[in-house]
Amino acid sequence: MEFTESYKQTGPCCFSPNSRFIAVAVDYRLVIRDTLSFKVVQLFSCLDKISYIEWAVDSEYILCGLYKRPMIQAWSLTQPEWTCKIDEGPAGIAYARWSPDSRHILTTSDFQLRLTVWSLVNTACVHVQWPKHGSKGVSFTQDGKFAAICTRRDCKDYINLLSCHSWEIMGVFAVDTLDLADIEWSPDDSAIVVWDSPLEYKVLIYSPDGRCLFKYQAYESGLGVKSVSWSPCGQFLAVGSYDQMLRVLNHLTWKTFAEFTHLSTVRGPCCAALFKEVDEPLQLDMSELCLSDNFIQNKNVFHSFDQAFLSFFNLKEDASEGHFGVRYEVMDLPVALPFQKPPADKPNPKQGIGLMSWSNDSQYICTRNDSMPTILWIWDIRHLEIAAILVHKDPIRAVAWDPTCARLVLCTGSSHLYMWTPSGAYCVNIPLPQFTITDLKWNSDGSCLLLKDKESFCCAAVPVLPESSEYSSDE
């Protein structure tokens, strides 16, 4: 892998949908960098510190949420002199998002008083009263023609279907929930999944005309649903629960066809490899380390290092403390996994499937059971079995699948980047001093990773994964 130098940031950072640019918040400034040269191509000054950034789908416009004001500012990359400012006045703004056509902005006011659709074409606006949530409860179809917006009135939850062309309400129907948590259109736009709050285990499948196609309830007593996600192909619906189980439903019958349990002890026989992060002392000959002229003269482009050199840059300054890299070690079964029992007298228990993500080809799904925060489970949907278990020293902060192949990256707030493919797992040490990865994102073509630290970010050029690639656990 090849890494850039670090750049300053004080808030959100994200790639444009077309992967040509990176938007970075630096206090009240919005910095737009080119992803190849990393030179600044645009610089916009906002009226306050930037809390949120979102690109329009066409990568031409970008909005900045200034939630301390509260206010929204939008900018154009092709017309730098153009600007847009949205202020809801006393109602405030809790959240903002783009519509699929990149020409409308949806804002939700504080206390969920109303949702407003603002047009950038004719400055018209449409109001939807009593949205259920601020940042949740809104979902668009894949073709961008319709929006489903959750509302609540008279102690009852409703779904409003709006046309994204005219923003007229096409239909409204009530849903059988006590306290609706969120909704999501299926990838083929044929159904809408609705799930209830954790106090009531209820997953409902509705057709766009308001018919309830299926009602799923795994159990009655105890906390219920924690996470729900459609597979990219639309054939599977994954439901993560507080009982520490992952259940996968089939889109044809809406019946459960797979249940995966996150055990605290893994015993044989097991076809999956269990990788554990371990320290590895480094033995480097300082006389053999040198910087090339290309590295010294080109600080704004990617730099290549061999694995020993990557580890060297993460060494502590005090040599007397000892120097360590990390690697994955394959463990023999049985293995007792680190487990944290949540206290019974505190709210919001740290248990259940709090993190869940599908691979782009829908063959794999990774999960994190919050009572075992350092462990990532990777499940093979095609064979209905565990594919791998990754055990780390620190809690998992973020995971992301390569959008082009079955390759997973994750971070734990350390100076190491962890990767998994069906061929194995490996660790990479970041060649930047005092750089710890707290978040990461892929660009749309899977060629570059954005790695975020607390006050800076860098990018990593990721080599294309060969079809017959073979990675060892200690690479």
pLDDT single digits (tens) 75-91: 999 999 999 999 988 88
Radius of gyration of the chain (CA): 24
pTM of the model: 0.88
Residue 150 binned pLDDT confidence (cut-offs 50, 70, 90): very high
Residue whose structure tokens are 């610089």: 43
pLDDT in tens, 198-220: 999 999 999 999 999 999 999 99
What pLDDT sits at residue 1? 85
Q: What is the token pair recorded at 194?
A: 């609705």
For all residues of the chain together, what is the average pLDDT?
88
Q: What is the pLDDT of residue 346?
A: 79
Residue type, 203: V
Q: Name the pLDDT band for 330 (thresholds 50, 70, 90).
A: very high
- Give pLDDT tens digits for 12-54: 999 999 999 999 999 999 999 999 999 999 999 999 999 999 9
Helix (H, G, I), strand (E, B) or coil at 367: strand
Residue 252 within a domain: no
What is residue 267's predicted lDDT score, i.e. its pLDDT?
A: 87
pLDDT digits (tens, 9 = 90+) for 306-324: 333 333 334 333 333 344 6
pLDDT at 467: 56
Cα distance between residue 28 and residue 243, in whole Å: 43
Indicate the pLDDT class of residue 336, thresholds 50, 70 and 90: very high
Question: How confident is the model over 156-199, as pLDDT tens digits?
Answer: 999 999 999 999 999 999 999 999 999 999 999 999 999 999 99
CATH code assigned at 28: 2.40.10.480
Q: How far apart are CA 251 and CA 266, in angstroms?
A: 31
pLDDT at 286 over 70: no
Instruction: Please report whether residue 364 resides in a domain.
Output: yes
Q: What is the DSSP letter of 158?
A: E
Looking at 87, 106, 124, which one is the last position of a domain? 87
Question: What value does the mean pLDDT take over residues 453-467?
Answer: 87
Is 243:215 a contact under the CB 8 Å cutoff? Answer: no
Would you place residue 140 in the very low, low, confident or very high pLDDT band (cuts 50, 70, 90)? very high
Residue 33 CA, chain-centre distance (Å), reads 22
In a domain? residue 115: no
CA 423 → CA 246, 273, 368, 420, distances in Å? 24, 10, 21, 8
Q: Are 109 and 91 in contact (CB under 8 A)?
A: yes
The last residue of one of the domains, among 38, 62, 87, is 87
H or E element at residue 147: strand 146-153
Q: Which domain holds residue 304?
A: 265-475
Write the CA distances from 387 to 278, 341, 379, integer angstroms. Answer: 20, 25, 5
At 444 the pLDDT is 94
User: In a 3-state reduction of DSSP, which class is residue 159?
Assistant: strand
Q: Based on the structure, what is the number of domains in the chain?
A: 2
The token pair at 445 is 């073509």
Res 466: pLDDT: 66
DSSP one-letter string for 162-186: EETTT--EEEEEE-S-SSEEEEEE-
Residue 299 within any structural domain of the chain: yes
Residue 244 inside a domain? The answer is: no
Average pLDDT over residues 459-469: 74
Q: Which CA distances in Å does 246 have to 118, 185, 205?
A: 39, 20, 18
Query: Which of 66, 87, 108 marks a domain boundary?
Result: 87
Whether 472 shows a pLDDT value over 90: the answer reads: no
Whether 217 is in a domain gets the answer no
Q: Is residue 145 part of a domain?
A: no
465 in the Ramachandran plot: left (φ > 0), alpha (ψ -120 to 50) or beta? Answer: beta
- Pairwise CA distance, residues 410 & 416, whole Å: 9
Q: So what's the pLDDT on residue 91?
A: 85
Task: Find the mean pLDDT for residues 377-399.
Answer: 96
For the cut 80, the answer to whether the pLDDT of residue 299 exceeds it is no
Residue 246 pLDDT? 98
Domain annotation covers residue 452: yes
